[in-house]
Structure 1
Amino acid sequence: MKSNPWLAPYLIGNSPDRYVQLEHRAVAQSIKGESIAARAEVLRAQMREVFLCGDQTSLLLDQLLAIGEGHALTHYGSSQQVLGALYRQNPWGDGAQPALMLTGLAGTGKTQLMQAMRCLLGARVGCVDLPGHRNLEIQPAWFMSLREGNTLNSLLGPWVIPNRTSSEGVEISKKKDLKQAHLLQLARRVSRRDGVCIIFLDEFQFITNSPQANALAMTLLLQLLSVGPRVIYVANYSLVRRLMNRRQEDRHRVLVNHLELQPDAMDSADFLNYIRELTRIAPADFRFEPQVVASLLHRYTYGIKRAVVELLVSAWTHGKIHRGAQADVTESDLKAAYASSGYMPFRSDVEALWRHSVGDKNINPDLLNPLRFETPESNVVVAQAAINDFNRRVNERHVEGMLTSSEREVLSKLAPSRKASPSVGKVRRLPVGAASKESLLDVFSRLGDDL
């Protein structure tokens, strides 16, 4: 069977090492120099370059490629289908698929994931010959960043206007911006001709937090959706929350489908491998075994990659300042770095996330995915916490019951004041019919309060 050249860029196989060529491994080096601050900057820059394709990252890459594969199967099933579309007024048809959002906490590696996709699909540009059309370019995806501007001309122009950029992406000629209607029509034709199945949009944080920015973000997304390829955009939770305040029909177009890049779990191989790779940059300074400090590092960073890098760099700096240029980084340096004023922005978020994980609802909403419902795993955490608290109170009652009257009187003076509670038990009525998990947990919690 003859291969489909428009479909081929998105087919990667299922080998465990299918993305190994995208990884950026550590390069061991001796960081020298008289200035500790300058050497710390070098270390930070090297650590931020590290990118590993663990289980979660590989799964997300698979899902992103599947979006392109599905669009190619729909619109590039045969040469005749492609040729017919080239001469239509609306080459992609009348329907438009909703956008897909990649979200997650700041610092988890969303932009690195986009860079990996750019590296992968950028290496798969090809050509195809069709009747009457020779050397048609196949460009699997367009990559855009709001860092480069927030207008349609700044985003689409480099892809659809000839000679706007060189092959290295450097602007080599100034052209007058096209009118929006003309630019969109041109983008539809060029993207259909070039086999573009995905438009990636990154760096939405460059849109400000004003109400006008919310409208601008939605307008940009809807305009890009009208081009024809699938749109995949990157957004932090704060933007997601703002977009949820838009009209219903807009929310359906940009919030229905989403993927989430979560911090690495404490017991995951991905987290341990990431620590191991970071410490390989300066092996003469990081002599501890990664598995020994993994639990502590995760407790101090919540598994957020940007926080891990900052904590390790701060610990390295602390060791060098207090014990000399030849000092190794120790666990005490990690603790000092965590308590430092420089780590405070990360520390406040990490502590808030940990408190929330055990039931505290008082948390900055920008740290939570507003589209994610409570998972069964989090229910287990809440239930286990309730069970432990329940058992502790039962044990306290048993101990108090074994005391003499004089011992009980002394204990009552030492213990903190407590609200008076009835000596007889209370009967809590369960709701009639099927009970939800939430209602059972609530009844259990109230039952524990009465002991």
Structure 2
Amino acid sequence: MTVLLQDRFRFALDTKYVRKTITVMPSPVMSLANVEPLIAAKILGDALKQSFIPNKFALDFIHEMVSRAFMHHCYVFSSEAEHQAKIYTPPVAEVLPICLTGLAGLGKSRTIEALTKVMPGPYEFQSPYFDGVLNLESYWYASAEGKESRKSLLLWFLFGESNHKAVNFDKLLIECRRRAYRDLVSLLLLDETQHISLGLGIAKIVTILLTLMRIGPPAVFVSNFSLGHKLFKRNNEDKQRLLAEPRIMLPDEVGSKDWKAYVDECVRVSGGHIRTQGRDFAAELYRYTFGIKRIAVQLLKQAYVESRKSGRTWIEMDDLGSAFRSAEFTANAGDVQDLYNLALGDRRVQKSRPDLCCPFDLPKTYTSSVKQSVFAEQDKQVAATIFDSAMNASERAAKAQIVEPDDHKPKKATIRRPAAVKLSEDEQKSLFLEYTVGGGMSRRKSV
């Protein structure tokens, strides 16, 4: 029986199976030419949101959490007798929780959702030690939204609701611990902790997180950077418990295989509504989004609106810049600019935007690669400026008439007004008298 129950984790520990199971590739969108622009943009955005192409971090994180769950399962059910003993006398233990943190929009919740897909499903278990059938569960999941106390969290795990009439907290914790051992719960997941940080003081948030780690199984809570900064201001004993096991989700690096795979998926899902014409679309999309996938979806959605304004039904490279400068994208554009300034060590942004600053020390390899990409972009812009300034008027006019590879009609050259003719003092007086006598001055007064 022990081997049979452990075998439930076999597929979850197989990387190829995990990648295949959690990858989400929706069908490409159909033609949007006859759909109103804003509705068409929403259709495209909704399709892009469904995609989930796991990167290396997601696969490694899922593998680690499944491995921890498997180890806990083996500890609880080393034998049927040991299992029964832990049910009647639940061991008291504090487990250091995993803090999954990162910028908003990177896919932390999607990664947790993917983790639940590969964890073993419900299983009916019969034992001579119990009457009837036990319904085993491999994990408990809770969203922090609406959880206002440590009791509400335990009630959710036990009854699936947080407004159930509660008994004494200590009795509730013992029952939750006993149920977790009975049902072989091997992983606790607490998502959306940013919701509990809005209306509650940090002291209550800490009690909820400490309760999570007192149940027994390995635990994960998803935190944004703002909550992380607040936790770092707590006492030493709280920091040692809650921040000892951080897992930092970072944006994919520009030019990385993971980022290119994501952009290729966006192009595929668009169903021909994104046309890159062989140019480095992945690098350009990264430039305007800092590699944050939620922002990338919103930028592409707005880029489609901009393309319709230009008389097209597909997105071209220039539409990304137009979308970035649009009113609809203003808030995201400010965040992206601040992230680039942070990468260059802007202390002003560090103080004013704690939601964008990681409370943990980032790997030097990542920070250096981000700086290099920013410097490369700056060098590119400087080189373009120098090149333009070195051209004469005829060369600029010729450049303005050049058709870019993804353009379908030539751009109009800028028409410069001729320079004003320099007049002598007598000529100026003559023209002034002609203007006043001719009625120009009287018309101006009448207006």
Q: Provide the TM-score with structure 2 as the length reference.
A: 0.76
Deviation at 1:105, TM superposition (A): 0.5
Which residue of structure 1 aligns with residue 224 of structure 2? 236
Q: Could you tell me whether the CA contact under 8 Å between 2:145 and 2:196 is conserved in 1? A: no
Deviation at 1:384, TM superposition (A): 11
Which residue of structure 1 aligns with residue 394 of structure 2? none
* In 1, Cα distance between equivalents of 2:13 and 2:337: 40
Which residue of structure 1 aligns with residue 22 of structure 2? 22
Which residue of structure 1 aligns with residue 322 of structure 2? 336
SS, match of residue 337 in structure 1: helix
Alpha-carbon spacing, 1:125–1:4, altered in 2? closer, same or farther (3 Å): same
Q: Pairwise mapping of residues 158-173 of structure 1 onto structure 2 (< 5 A)?
A: 158-161=156-159
Alpha-carbon spacing, 1:336–1:135, altered in 2? closer, same or farther (3 Å): same
Deviation at 1:383, TM superposition (A): 9.8
Which of 136, 139, 150 is equivalent to 2:137?
139
Deviation at 1:79, TM superposition (A): 1.9
Alpha-carbon spacing, 1:53–1:34, altered in 2? closer, same or farther (3 Å): closer
Deviation at 1:377, TM superposition (A): 4.9
* In 2, Cα distance between equivalents of 1:268 and 1:188: 43
Give the paired residue count. 371
* In 2, Cα distance between equivalents of 1:190 and 1:291: 57
Percentage of identical aligned residues: 24
* In 1, Cα distance between equivalents of 2:129 and 2:194: 45
Which residue of structure 2 aligns with residue 281 of structure 1? 269
Which residue of structure 1 aligns with residue 102 of structure 2? 104
Q: Pairwise mapping of residues 36-185 of structure 1 onto structure 2 (< 5 A)?
A: 36-88=37-89, 91=90, 93-121=91-119, 124-133=121-130, 135-161=133-159, 175-185=164-174
Which segments of 5 or more consecutive residues in structure 2 lack a partner in the other structure?
376-447
Which of 331, 343, 360 is equivalent to 1:345?
331
User: Which piece of structure 1 moves more, 191-200 or 266-275?
Assistant: 266-275
Which of 246, 249, 252 is equivalent to 1:258?
246
Q: Could you tell me whether the CA contact under 8 Å between 1:272 and 1:291 is conserved in 2? A: no
Amino acid at match of 1:124: G
The structure in which a higher percent of residues are helix is 2
Alpha-carbon spacing, 1:44–1:179, altered in 2? closer, same or farther (3 Å): farther
SS, match of residue 201 in structure 2: helix
Q: Could you tell me whether the CA contact under 8 Å between 1:31 and 1:43 is conserved in 2? A: no
- Please tell me whether Structure 1 or Structure 2 has the larger radius of gyration of its CA atoms: 2
SS, match of residue 18 in structure 1: helix
Q: Could you tell me whether the CA contact under 8 Å between 1:139 and 1:195 is conserved in 2? A: yes
Which of 283, 289, 311 is equivalent to 1:295?
283
Q: Could you tell me whether the CA contact under 8 Å between 1:338 and 1:347 is conserved in 2? A: yes
User: Which piece of structure 1 moves more, 137-146 or 288-297?
Assistant: 288-297
Amino acid at match of 1:136: L
1:308 aligns with 2:305: no
User: Which piece of structure 1 moves more, 52-61 or 70-79?
Assistant: 70-79
4+ residue segments displaced more than 4 Å: 31-34, 379-386
Which residue of structure 2 aligns with residue 449 of structure 1? none
What is the aligned-residue RMSD (CA, Å)?
2.8
1:124-147 per-residue CA deviation (whole Å, 9 max, x = no partner) reads 221333332253222110000022
Amino acid at match of 2:19: Y
* In 2, Cα distance between equivalents of 1:21 and 1:380: 31
Which of 305, 323, 336 is equivalent to 2:311?
323
1:367-420 per-residue CA deviation (whole Å, 9 max, x = no partner) reads 12111245145357779999xxxxxxxxxxxxxxxxxxxxxxxxxxxxxxxxxx
Deviation at 1:323, TM superposition (A): 1.1
Amino acid at match of 1:82: H
User: Which piece of structure 1 moves more, 250-259 or 126-135?
Assistant: 126-135
Q: Could you tell me whether the CA contact under 8 Å between 1:6 and 1:195 is conserved in 2? A: no
Q: Provide the TM-score with structure 1 as the length reference.
A: 0.75
Amino acid at match of 1:125: P
Amino acid at match of 2:326: S
Q: Could you tell me whether the CA contact under 8 Å between 2:92 and 2:216 is conserved in 1? A: no
Deviation at 1:354, TM superposition (A): 1.9
Deviation at 1:228, TM superposition (A): 1.5
1:61-99 per-residue CA deviation (whole Å, 9 max, x = no partner) reads 1122122123223333222211111221xx1x2321111
Alpha-carbon spacing, 1:347–1:290, altered in 2? closer, same or farther (3 Å): farther
Amino acid at match of 1:131: P
SS, match of residue 206 in structure 1: helix
SS, match of residue 252 in structure 1: helix
Amino acid at match of 1:112: R
SS, match of residue 19 in structure 1: helix
Which residue of structure 1 aligns with residue 355 of structure 2? 366
Which residue of structure 2 aligns with residue 227 of structure 1? 215
1:267-318 per-residue CA deviation (whole Å, 9 max, x = no partner) reads 1121111112122223231122586211111111111111110111110111
Which residue of structure 1 aligns with residue 258 of structure 2? 270
1:11-52 per-residue CA deviation (whole Å, 9 max, x = no partner) reads 633444532112210311225464322222222222111111
Deviation at 1:202, TM superposition (A): 0.5
Deviation at 1:6, TM superposition (A): 4.9
